[in-house]
Amino acid sequence: MMPAAPMWIVVWLLGATQVVGYGTLLYAFPLLAPDIAAEIGWREDLVFAALSVGLLASGLTAPVAGRLADSYGAARVMTFGSGAAALALIVLAIAPGPAGFVAGVVLTQLASSFVLYASAFVVLVQAGGEAARGRITHLTLIAGFASTVFWPLTYLLDARLGWRDVYLVYAALNAAICLPVHAYLARSARSAGVAQAPAAHATESVTGHRSERTIFLVMLLGFAVEGFVLSAMLVHMVPMLQAVGLGAAALAVGALFGPAQVASRLVNMVAGRALSQTSLAIVAAFMLPASAAVLAASAPWLPGALTFAILFGFGSGLNTIVSGTLPLALFGARGYGSRLGWGTWARQFAGAFAPFAFAASTAASSTHATLWMLAALGLVGIAAFVLIALLRSRR
């Protein structure tokens, strides 16, 4: 029997697979979309609509992935997901036409339900229990470099190979890196005797006690609002910045988003230990509507736009951490995978409709008005997490 892997090795190995997973399954798509649209004869907005369908399917699958992680072990689920991701990317690469392309996109996003953050967080919790909170922060810090690695890599490969061969290369990366790493972690978990929590317990704990059920549903509401606001502004970030008058500076402002995400995780790792996870959720929720309001009120003033990018990046980075740590803090490790799956469902289901809603709102009114509406909606997310804090204090 092989020895169990030390936790620092588990975190770094998972971080490497998250960089590859996010880079190949999500971040490459917007860069390849123009070439895809030109080849299959679609407008770019229809190409992105296919991605929205895939994200919606992924969100619907997330609770299933969570239950399987609870029942069979998250590392085993990720091993299956890595193989499925490699096959899905091959399907996408060889898609013969528009229908095949849509099928490939949906399959890649279905596979993502089993290999990205939600499953990786469950691996850490199953290995370390509630002590996994700090490791979740470390993992998100490593994975935050996915765009830094894969945006330039995708540009380079696309210029030399074309989008189909890029996806074949990325399929090989999932098969050569993620699949063996996840298989190793699954064997290591079995050697360490990591016990899996029955998925049924998640349902029992949520539905069996009124207070826990209420807190769980309010948490899903907060996650859904954050998912909507994040998706709406992130997908449209550069066009949105240009529309409010920033012109050529829009790209430079948008480039601050990634570093701000990483910085938020560093700050949380160093100084966030004094905050409860509920308080951290309130802070993360506040930064999203605050960023929208700052941009709407100050544009086209450049310092205001830079403040928007920093606030938005911090809100996004902290939201990723909260999505993994808040369910753990509120409900414990048992049934964690199932709860995390429902949280992923709430964020992605709401986020799948956000780009279309943002575009429709700006067409009907203006970008400034849409930003104010997003800021108002974000207040609902803040209220949800404040309510959770009040309910917890009563208990």
Q: Let me know if residue 69 belongs to a domain.
A: yes
Question: Residue 251 has which token pair?
Answer: 């790209």
Q: Let me know if residue 387 belongs to a domain.
A: yes
**Same domain for 99 and 222:** no
**Same domain for 240 and 340:** yes
Helix axes 74-93, 163-173, angle to 10 degrees: 160
Last residue of a domain, one of 192, 225, 260: 192
Helix axes 210-235, 367-394, angle to 10 degrees: 160
**Same domain for 66 and 204:** no
**Same domain for 186 and 130:** yes
Length of the chain as a residue count: 395
Cα angle vertex 141, ends 137, 142, to 5°?
A: 120
pLDDT value of position 205: 46
pLDDT value of position 3: 58
Q: Let me know if residue 298 belongs to a domain.
A: yes
**Same domain for 205 and 183:** no
**Same domain for 261 and 227:** yes
Last residue of a domain, one of 139, 162, 192: 192
Q: Say how many domains are in the chain.
A: 2
pLDDT tens-digit profile, the chain (395 residues): 455 678 888 999 999 999 999 999 988 888 898 899 999 998 887 888 898 899 899 989 999 999 999 999 999 999 999 999 999 999 999 998 899 999 999 999 999 999 999 999 999 999 877 778 888 988 988 988 887 788 889 989 999 999 999 999 999 999 999 999 999 999 988 766 554 544 444 444 444 477 788 999 999 999 999 999 998 888 778 788 888 998 888 878 877 887 888 888 888 887 767 788 999 999 999 999 999 999 999 989 999 999 999 999 999 999 999 999 999 999 988 889 999 999 999 998 898 888 878 888 888 989 999 999 999 999 999 999 999 999 988 76
pLDDT value of position 207: 42
**Domain containing 72: what range?**
7-192
**Same domain for 307 and 214:** yes
Q: What is the CATH number of the domain that holds 81?
A: 1.20.1250.20
Last residue of a domain, one of 147, 172, 192: 192
**Same domain for 213 and 153:** no
* Burial (CB count within 10 angstroms: exposed 0-12, middle 13-18, buried 19+), residue 133: buried
**Same domain for 266 and 377:** yes
**Same domain for 110 and 220:** no
**Same domain for 209 and 144:** no
Q: Let me know if residue 1 belongs to a domain.
A: no
Comparing CA positions, the residue from 254, 230, 224 lying closest to residue 240 is 254
Q: Let me know if residue 337 belongs to a domain.
A: yes
pLDDT value of position 152: 87
**Same domain for 220 and 92:** no
Q: Let me know if residue 126 belongs to a domain.
A: yes
Q: Let me know if residue 2 belongs to a domain.
A: no
pLDDT value of position 97: 87
Q: Let me know if residue 338 belongs to a domain.
A: yes
